[in-house]
Amino acid sequence: MNNKEKSKNIIKILNHTYPKVPIPLNYKNTFTLLISVLLSAQCTDINVNNVTKKIYPKYNQPKHFVKLGRKKIEKLIRKIGIFRIKAKSIFYLSKILVKKYKGKVPKTYEELEQLPGVGHKTASVVMSQGFGYPAFPVDTHIHRLAQRWGLTNGKNVIQTEQDLKAVFPKKYWNRLHLQIIWYGREYCKARECYGITCKICKSCYPNRKKPIKTKKA
């Protein structure tokens, strides 16, 4: 089975499994989406949602976080991993958004990735979920699954993103990104499937007998 055949099969299975795709992170607007994705680094979405549900009703604009200041932001997000570093990024990116973009989140990769704490993956999620731009954000789940399914050689997330964009039609990217994340959490888990038990792994490699080792991004 070549990659094009695999991709069609994967899309079919994922569409059947997730006809409606839930958004993992809760947010109120594009700015809070940006903040939630930034907070989710080295942290579970559940933890981020538990913390932000107490924040966003009151603080949901860049000007709010500028007024709060770093120390108060730290207190609000202290239950999240590396909260001091993230608080610093949130404070300074909020200042930039207020001064340079009139409180709006910019709509280009280049401008987003120049903001403190915002890498390519975070920018991709905002472009995809915030602005509806075709993007294929690659996190550790997607990187791992792309290797298991034989869609990439697994050197790094940038290579994985390029390989996935090459094999899946652009019109499916935004939906697939979320479907693959959910599938990796529920069916093709890091310490359960090992590339040999879930429906997609078995369909891609029906004769695979030994667990496959994946390379970290």
Rounded Cα distance, 62 and 35, in Å: 10
Average model confidence (pLDDT) for the chain? 95
- CATH architecture for residues 3-21+136-204: Orthogonal Bundle (1.10)
Q: Shortest CA distance to 133 belongs to which of 192, 184, 173?
A: 173
Average pLDDT value for residue range 206-216: 89
pLDDT in tens, 119-168: 999 999 999 999 999 999 998 889 999 999 999 987 889 999 999 999 99
Q: Where are the domains of the chain?
A: 3-21+136-204, 30-130
Output the CATH code of domain 30-130: 1.10.340.30
- The better pLDDT of the pair 212, 94 is held by 94
Confidence band, pLDDT 50/70/90 cuts, at residue 213: confident
Residues in Cβ contact with 197 at an 8 Å cutoff, skipping those fewer than 6 apart? none
Question: What positions carry a catalytic annotation?
Answer: 121, 139
Looking at residue 139, what is its pLDDT?
86
Looking at residue 154, what is its pLDDT?
75
Which parts of the chain fold into alpha helices (H)? Answer: 3-17, 30-39, 45-52, 62-68, 70-76, 83-101, 109-113, 120-125, 140-148, 157-167, 173-186, 199-204
